[in-house]
Amino acid sequence: MKSAVLERQQGQIEAALETVKAALVKFPKFPKLYMVQGKIYQSQKNHAVARAVYAAGLKQCPKNVALWILASRLEELDGKSIKARALLERARMVNPASEQLWAEAVDVEERSGGAIQAKAMFARGTNNYHRVSRVISDPSFSQ
């Protein structure tokens, strides 16, 4: 993985992709490889392939919160806030007590201009899961 990151930073994109693909054959349950590969395709504005990479990663590593968030942010970047919300909803079904997923869901609502929906999501997170401290400590909701 470090080789792929180094190659990517040096601008050797094709070499980085080959390194990641080879590593995924040996280590298909390693989520960071999917993240690196997805980010490379995302940086090339190849959202369809990045989406497929993240989907493959989520099948192999459904408990990885960072992978769910990256997939959601890709959808948001591609102008598909509804799909980003749906991904986060699925992610919370797999990882119900994840503070990061609840906080990201609130952030998605805020970024899409839905202050009311963001507050509703905040309320759901705090009512259902008392340990969602990151969401609770969010200064934008202390009003």
Banded pLDDT at 34 (limits 50, 70, 90) = very high
Rounded to two decimals, the pTM is 0.82
Residue whose C-alpha is closest to residue 106's, from 93, 57, 95, 92: 92
> What is the C-alpha to C-alpha distance for residues 82 and 103, in angstroms, rounded to an integer?
17
> What is the C-alpha to C-alpha distance for residues 122 and 116, in angstroms, rounded to an integer?
10
pLDDT tens digits along 86-133: 999 999 999 988 889 888 888 888 887 777 777 777 777 776 665 555
